[in-house]
A and B are shown apart, each in its own frame.
Chain A
């Protein structure tokens, strides 16, 4: 475990409890995004990691070492720090800015210069920019420098407080790509505070959702989209985003009917007709006695046979189209819709029949995703989206507690 925060609490001198019982274990190479309403304690939590603030109680360890026993100045030199307004020194050249921490650490002039060239390349900016001053760079370029400056002394943990908040969407996206590259390809660990849910979901390996100083949910972006912990999270993510994300996070098993009507091949035509009549269906799925899907029988096929004692195996249609229970709807929907079938059996990894998906259920999901959030007085087409809709339109849904 690279970074561990346990039972962190921060109470400001004015009595304001900004962070309460915060717990988080961060592995090397993770990208943690803190998101939450304004004043929820994101900045406070982040600043305790490099001891810009000291916690009231609780422990933070890095590589197993308690940071409260470390020299704060040394600690800060080992942790990258990027803030919203870049914090570049206006009276220092880009090179001098990049070299700040290496210089504090006593690196030789040559080694520092070499590092500066490396860093400007990493920032994907021209080398001659090193001699310029921050005021001569665009906001996006400045923040690129701000990001690579935080890595210049090979820091492993990088703290970022709304680093791209002041940038336009296109510049922001290119900077997001930069940090994603640093995390994925250089194995850097990021603690990243943001207000932008898309940014958090796009970049993070895990998202920490905060409200009033408490963690509301800590999970991967997929899981948060799949199971928002409560109404607060649903609202924070937004109905629109949740519904749009459904095809890519819902699995087939989540929308299938779990009681498919099936029959074994040793039964007879009469049995099949009785069953269809009882359950009011026109198709039966055929499974062997272990539940493995064999095929299906259709009412049309049955009509042509007159002998009621014919075993089902004789007229089972073995060309059956089926889907895996754990596949994502987004990945299977095209295939299902193109087949033009009414119902699709769902099987597990060993081809055991576990359910059935109706074409209508699928179309509803896809329709909702295309349409986005329905109006408050309108129901989403798919019942699975109804919960999201209800939560999002619930009165007072803005606060967690």
Chain B
């Protein structure tokens, strides 16, 4: 195997461990998705809530900011003390880190809706709920999705690091590569799919973001 170049070794690795890489890929992806999904389930309503009670926004956004400043490895270790080794801890960490981008974008999106449009909606007799569902959310949806996109890219990075506390995934391959002598190809075998995942999810979400942006022109 030594006579092969780095790329040759990489191809060799993939051809022999293809299914293994794929299953690690899936695992990393799912852990990130679960974390971000939880983040969205909590963060979007929180963002909406603080946009209605704006006095609360510095508190909530401040708290999310504090979480963000803790280095992810430190956060993983701290949580590990409470939650033990494994995927749960990583999912919770991804969840915590996705809160800030999701809350912040939801909040900004809500506030960027033209106040005149909101005033007209209310003045025409829409209930608060109707204003939310037919005006606020549609008009801020693309900004909210952009927040989720951010969160997912961050989340993938954290999940890979999460392998250190035994959550498996592509990070495992990378760690194995760092431990092996001449493990460059193995590191790449973990790192390239990770990068690919980040890029693809980003592209897919940006596509969704564009699709969900409400039409304001009849042309296309």
Taking Cβ atoms with an 8 Å cutoff, the residues of A that contact B are 50, 52, 73-78, 81, 83-91, 93, 100-101, 104, 131-136, 149, 159
Q: Is the CB of B215 within 8 A of A86?
A: no
A74 to B126, CA, bound (A): 9
Residue B217 is within 8 A (CB to CB) of chain A in the complex: yes
Give chain B interface residues in 104-156, CB to chain A under 8 Å: 114, 116-117, 119-127, 130, 134-135, 138-139
A81 to B119, CA, bound (A): 10
A166 to chain B: closest CB distance in Å?
A: 11
A136 to B218, CA, bound (A): 8
A100 to B131, CA, bound (A): 11
Residue B216 is within 8 A (CB to CB) of chain A in the complex: yes
Residue among A83, A104, A131 making CB contact with B120, cutoff 8 Å: A83
A148 to chain B: closest CB distance in Å?
A: 13
Residue among B130, B134, B139, B217 making CB contact with A135, cutoff 8 Å: B217
Taking Cβ atoms with an 8 Å cutoff, the residues of B that contact A are 114, 116-117, 119-127, 130, 134-135, 138-139, 214-218
CB contacts (< 8 Å) of A76 on chain B: these are 122-125
Q: Is the CB of A135 within 8 A of B123?
A: no
Q: Is the CB of A104 within 8 A of B130?
A: yes
CB contacts (< 8 Å) of A104 on chain B: these are 124-126, 130
A86 to B116, CA, bound (A): 8
Closest 7 CB pairs of A and B: A87-B120, A91-B214, A77-B125, A76-B125, A81-B123, A85-B116, A87-B116
Closest residue of B by beta carbon distance from A76: B125
Q: Is the CB of B124 within 8 A of A90?
A: no
CB contacts (< 8 Å) of A159 on chain B: these are 123
CB contacts (< 8 Å) of B125 on chain A: these are 73-78, 101, 104
CB contacts (< 8 Å) of B114 on chain A: these are 85, 90
Of A77, A84, A90, A149, chain B has the most CB atoms within 10 Å of the CB of A90
Known: A87-B121, A93-B218, A104-B126. 13 other contacts (CB 8 A): A52-B122, A76-B125, A77-B125, A86-B120, A87-B117, A88-B120, A90-B139, A91-B138, A104-B124, A132-B218, A133-B217, A133-B218, A149-B124
Q: Is the CB of A91 within 8 A of B216?
A: yes
B102 to chain A: closest CB distance in Å?
A: 22
A130 to chain B: closest CB distance in Å?
A: 10
Residue among A75, A81, A90 making CB contact with B117, cutoff 8 Å: A90
Residue among A85, A89, A131, A135 making CB contact with B121, cutoff 8 Å: A89
Closest residue of B by beta carbon distance from A159: B123
Q: Is the CB of B124 within 8 A of A83?
A: no
Closest residue of A by beta carbon distance from B141: A91
Q: Is the CB of A91 within 8 A of B139?
A: yes
Q: Is the CB of A100 within 8 A of B123?
A: no
A to B CB contacts below 8 Å, 22 in the list: A52-B123, A73-B126, A75-B125, A81-B123, A83-B120, A83-B123, A85-B114, A86-B116, A87-B117, A87-B123, A89-B134, A89-B135, A90-B139, A90-B214, A90-B216, A91-B139, A91-B215, A93-B218, A104-B124, A131-B218, A135-B216, A149-B124
A50 to B120, CA, bound (A): 12
A113 to B41, CA, bound (A): 37
Residue among A73, A90, A93 making CB contact with B127, cutoff 8 Å: A73
CB contacts (< 8 Å) of A78 on chain B: these are 125
Q: Is the CB of A133 within 8 A of B122?
A: no
Q: Is the CB of B120 within 8 A of A81?
A: yes
CB contacts (< 8 Å) of B120 on chain A: these are 81, 83, 86-89
A86 to B123, CA, bound (A): 12
Residue among A93, A100, A132, A134 making CB contact with B124, cutoff 8 Å: A100
A91 to B114, CA, bound (A): 12
A130 to B123, CA, bound (A): 22
A327 to chain B: closest CB distance in Å?
A: 46
Of B120, B125, B138, chain A has the most CB atoms within 10 Å of the CB of B125
B115 to chain A: closest CB distance in Å?
A: 9
B152 to chain A: closest CB distance in Å?
A: 25
A339 to B45, CA, bound (A): 83
A104 to B127, CA, bound (A): 10
A73 to chain B: closest CB distance in Å?
A: 5
Residue among B123, B130, B135, B217 making CB contact with A50, cutoff 8 Å: B123
